[in-house]
Every structure is written in structure tokens, then in C-alpha cells.
Amino acid sequence: MDAVKTEAAPSFETVWAILQEVGKKHEENAIAMQELRESQKETDRQMKKSERQFNKRFGEYDNRFGKVVEHMIAPNLCKKFREFGFVFTKAHNNTKVKDDENNIHLEVDVTLENGDNVMLVEIKTQLTAEDVKDHISRMEKMRLYADLRGDKRKFFGAIAAVIAPTNEKKNALKQGFFVIEPSGETFNITPPPHQPKEW
């Protein structure tokens, strides 16, 4: 009968050496993970910085583009709105309202006016649902500001956009705004499907 062979248990020194090696590897892994986390933080910081720079540059571009559009369409808006029964005698770019006492602050890209009516025109590169909401808010603030000063003229709104996606355009029209879009070397004005909204 063959004798059963048994392996001798590793010595304490061997186990201790293995544990030390495992501990060393664990420590190296922890350092590597920390370095990776730091690297990721730096990457995140760089990405956020790049995003801020991009947003700033895009905002500057968007503002400059808006100014160009303002100067292109503003002079002809009075004439174009005659087709819809509005006879505006004055046009202003960049109207600012600052009423700290009543907490009313707003800016209007182009304001058309006469003795009876005022048209507030907001100019955007690309029309969004948020732009429509913002213009409704702007119209409400202007109405309040006018009422506080006894100005009983009717206020109407229009949004000019270089790009007006179908859904956003429909939404703007549904809210009672005129929508102004480029067409060749000029621009077209689409009236709301029913009466334009008065504020």
C-alpha cells in the first residue's frame, strides 16, 4: 500500500513574504487609483474650462450675429409690417428697461412704435421653445412697465430667427407672435394663424 503524500504547510516566513508582496501590490494599486482619480479630475477641469471658453466664444459669436441681423432687418421692418396693417413711425435697436423700484428689467432687440401700437422684436440665431417662453415673459414685463406709466398702447410681439425649426415656429405662432425668417436677400413675416396677441 502506497503511502499518502502530504504537502508541508508553507513556513511562516513564506506566508509573511506573500502577505508583504500582496500589501505592496495593494499599496501600488491604491497609488495608481489615486493618480487616475487626480488625472480624471484634471481632465474634468480641462473639459469644463474648454466648455466655458466655447460657450463664451459661441455667445460672443451669437451676439455679433444677432447685431448683424438687427441691422439687416430693422430698417425694413416698418415697411414690411404695413402689409399687416401696422404703420410704425419709429424703430429703435436695443431698447433697455431698468426699473429697480418695481423690479422690471428687460432688453428688446428691435422696438417698432407709433401712437397706438408697439411691436417688440426678439432676434435669435436659432429659435427654441425657451426663446418663445422668454419673449412671453418680456412682453408681460413690458405691459406692466407701460401700465405703471399710463401707457395704454397695444403691445405685440415678433421673433426673428435665422433658423426656425417647424415645431418651434408653430409654437411661436400659436402664442400669437409674428415669425420673421430670412428669404433670399430679404425676409418674410408669417402672421399668427388667428389674431396676433395683444399685451
**pTM for this entry:** 0.67
SS (H, E, C) the chain: CCCCCCCCCCCHHHHHHHHHHHHHHHHHHHHHHHHHHHHHHHHHHHHHHHHHHHHHHHHHHHHHHHHHHHHHHHHHHHHHHHHHCCCCCEEEEEEEEEECCCCEEEEEEEEEECCCEEEEEEEEEECCHHHHHHHHHHHHHHHHHHHHCCCCCEEEEEEEEEECCHHHHHHHHHCCCEEEEEECCEEEEECCCCCCCCC
Write the pLDDT tens digit of every residue in 6-51: 555 556 566 566 666 766 776 777 788 888 888 888 877 777 776 6
What are the structural domains, with CATH classification, of the chain? 76-190 (3.40.1350.10)
- Per-residue pLDDT, 25: 76
Between 199 and 70, the higher pLDDT residue: 199
Percent of the chain with pLDDT over 70: 76
At 87-112, the pLDDT tens digits run: 999 998 889 999 999 999 999 999 99
